[in-house]
Amino acid sequence: MKNITVSVDSETYQRARVRAAEQGRSLSSLVREFLNGLGSQESEAARLKREEAALRAQIGAFRAGDRLPREALYDRREGLGG
């Protein structure tokens, strides 16, 4: 296990010690749990990649040739009251 040193202002330190005492824990265990949680969370980049893959799977096969012709777009708008 590695040790780290963190500097915080006195007020933050006191609030953290009170919070740890309320939970019947050491300040070190409180900080350790917080840091472990950070390490286990999915990174923003990983989350975006996962969401992109899910969206691409929903889209399925797409080709530029599947586009509607210009005339069909105008016909569709007229049918919708536009």
CA distance 20 to 16: 6
Global confidence as pTM: 0.49
pLDDT in tens, the chain (82 residues): 889 999 999 999 999 999 999 999 999 999 999 888 887 778 888 889 999 999 988 887 777 777 777 777 776 555 555 4
Angle subtended at Cα 51 by Cα 48 and Cα 56, rounded to the nearest 5 degrees: 120
Predicted pLDDT at 79: 53
Angle subtended at Cα 52 by Cα 39 and Cα 45, rounded to the nearest 5 degrees: 30
CA distance 32 to 3: 10
CA distance 71 to 74: 5
Residue with tokens 């105008």: 74
